Amino acid sequence: MLAAAAAFFGICSASAQPPGPGWHNTPIAETDHIKAGDSTIQVDFAEGPLDLPKSAILAHIAAAASAVATYYGRFPVASDRILIIPVAGRHGMLQGTTWGDMRGFPAFTRIRLGEHTTQAELDDDWMMTHELVHTAFPSMPDDSNGLGQHWIEEGLATYVEPIARVMTGELTAKKIWSDMVRDMHQGEPAAGDEGLDHTHTWGRTYWGGAMFCLVADVNIRRATQNRKGLQDALRAIVSAGGTIDHNWTLPQALAIGDQATGTHVLSQMYNDWKDKPVTVDLPKLWSELGIQSGPDGITFVHGAPLAKVREAITKPAGAPITATVLPREAQ
């Protein structure tokens, strides 16, 4: 049902299901390693044609790892395996899926990458960072439909991915707020909505989840005079062991996040949003954040009531962490 995303969002999923074929019987052409702080990412290239040199793909993965490590203050898991599967005759990042706790690796990401992918397509790609954000939150229980609370997993990845990339200079704040103004409304509840826990549409899963994260970020910053934000809550969840290789309940994760910010924002919002269609006045929120839309895109209004909150959301909380591809002879 998430396939509707393919048209303009690509396909991504964080999955509790086993990966099936591909994990251990895919012939591997090359194995490389990336170091991100104390963590190691093993990158396996399955056999198959790729126009780009592997070094370009490794540099792209390292940039994604840098963004995620910078946002969370560390790379979320001690080791990660990324399997790149070339797809003959195609272009671009076609699909990504991330699993927790696979045969000794706390996280495993499988990426299907088109043979004719260009450097420009890699530069435009959000999926690699999105997948790595999935490592930084515990796996949520499935419901009888196998969907459960994927909205928080996808919502976090959708919200954090561009912010993390601003923190490492890959994107500008203007670009990502402009994208949010364009896209966030897709997360609003439609007629018949039964809240985020029970409405498994693409819009509510990705953008409904992202809208929950944005409103939570703003509310935490409002409640703490801009001293804390969603980033502090998410870092605390990771520090408490809440990564993709662990199965937690959502209230358990949110309680740890709330403790870190000294608020009840996440737990209270979850109580409101889980089984009711909560609508957000996005035009009002953009205006309070100091984002004005015009014919030439957005402009920032510096004196707006929440302009400082907007600035704080994309401001790095410490020195950036740079992930590096290890030279092959050192591997």
Question: Of 80 and 154, which has the nearer Cβ to Zn ion?
Answer: 154
Sorted by sequence, the CB contacts under 8 Å of residue 190 that are 6+ apart come out as 201, 203
Question: Of 137 and 286, which has the nearer Cβ to Zn ion?
Answer: 137
Q: How far is the CB of 29 from Zn ion (least distance, A)?
A: 26
Give CA 149 to chain center in angstroms.
15
* CA-wise closest residue to 287 among 304, 303, 265, 273: 304
Which helix (H) or strand (E) is 291 found in, with range?
strand 291-294
How many residues line the site for Zn ion (CB under 5 A)? 3
Q: How far is the CB of 95 from Zn ion (least distance, A)?
A: 11
Question: Left if phi > 0, otherwise alpha if psi is -120 to 50, otherwise beta: which for 86?
Answer: beta
Question: Left if phi > 0, otherwise alpha if psi is -120 to 50, otherwise beta: which for 179?
Answer: alpha
Binding of residue 132 to Zn ion (CB under 5 A): no
Binding of residue 157 to Zn ion (CB under 5 A): yes
Cβ pair 320, 68 in contact under 8 A: no
Q: How far is the CB of 136 from Zn ion (least distance, A)?
A: 12
φ and ψ of 246, to 5 deg: -120, 140
Question: Of 36 and 157, which has the nearer Cβ to Zn ion?
Answer: 157
Burial status of residue 16 (CB atoms within 10 A of its CB: 0-12, 13-18, 19 or more) = middle
Only one of the segments 52-60, 71-79, 147-155, 160-168 lies at the binding site for Zn ion (rule: CB under 5 A); that segment is 147-155
Only one of the segments 8-16, 101-109, 117-125, 265-273 lies at the binding site for Zn ion (rule: CB under 5 A); that segment is 8-16
* CA-wise closest residue to 233 among 179, 269, 208: 269
CA 97 – CA 91 distance, rounded (Å): 18
The pair of structure tokens assigned to 66 is 């840098």
Binding of residue 107 to Zn ion (CB under 5 A): no
3-state class of 87 per DSSP? strand
Cβ pair 304, 221 in contact under 8 A: no
Only one of the segments 10-18, 20-28, 221-229, 232-240 lies at the binding site for Zn ion (rule: CB under 5 A); that segment is 10-18
Question: Of 10 and 277, which has the nearer Cβ to Zn ion?
Answer: 10
Q: How far is the CB of 157 from Zn ion (least distance, A)?
A: 4
Q: Which of residues 176-235 bind Zn ion (CB under 5 A)?
A: none
Question: Of 11 and 29, which has the nearer Cβ to Zn ion?
Answer: 11
Residue nearest to Zn ion (CB): 12
How many Cα neighbours within 13 Å face the side chain of 215? Answer: 26
Only one of the segments 9-17, 61-69, 70-78, 292-300 lies at the binding site for Zn ion (rule: CB under 5 A); that segment is 9-17
Question: Of 154 and 288, which has the nearer Cβ to Zn ion?
Answer: 154
Q: How far is the CB of 98 from Zn ion (least distance, A)?
A: 7
Only one of the segments 153-161, 178-186, 216-224, 254-262 lies at the binding site for Zn ion (rule: CB under 5 A); that segment is 153-161
Given 12, 122, 216, 234, the residue binding Zn ion (CB under 5 A): 12
Q: How far is the CB of 322 from Zn ion (least distance, A)?
A: 24
Q: Regarding beta strands 79-87 and 105-114, do their DSSP bridges make them parallel or antiparallel, or are they unpaired? A: parallel
Q: How far is the CB of 290 from Zn ion (least distance, A)?
A: 29
Question: Of 99 and 273, which has the nearer Cβ to Zn ion?
Answer: 99
Give contact residues for Zn ion (rule: CB under 5 A): 12, 154, 157
